Amino acid sequence: MFSDGIIERLNGKGEEFNLDRLKKIIIQNRDKNTQEILTLILQEAHDFGTGKKWKDDATAVVIKKIMMTIIVY
């Protein structure tokens, strides 16, 4: 889950961070834990905006499904 401030973050050329960039980060880092993924999303969006102050909120929540196997003897 994320707010529009993430994908609408602008770089110096006026281009948006966009949904495709966000998806790419998530897919490339799906093996990392939720905190690492969240940190990467926020850092990539921040860097994309050349470190300028955010003009909109930047909210994201990362949730991962954990598979458990219970073995009963």
CA dist., res. 20 & res. 33, Å (int): 21
Q: What is the pLDDT of residue 20?
A: 97
Task: Report how far Cα 68 is from the mean position of its chain's Cα atoms.
Answer: 25
Q: How confident is the model at residue 61 (pLDDT cuts 50, 70, 90)?
A: very high
Instruction: Give percent above pLDDT 70 in the chain.
Output: 100
- pTM for this structure? 0.84
Alpha helices in 8-70 (DSSP H): 18-28, 34-48
Dihedral sign (CA 47, 51, 52, 55): positive
Confidence of residue 52 (pLDDT cuts 50, 70, 90): confident
Per-residue confidence (pLDDT) for residue 70, from 0 to 100 = 77
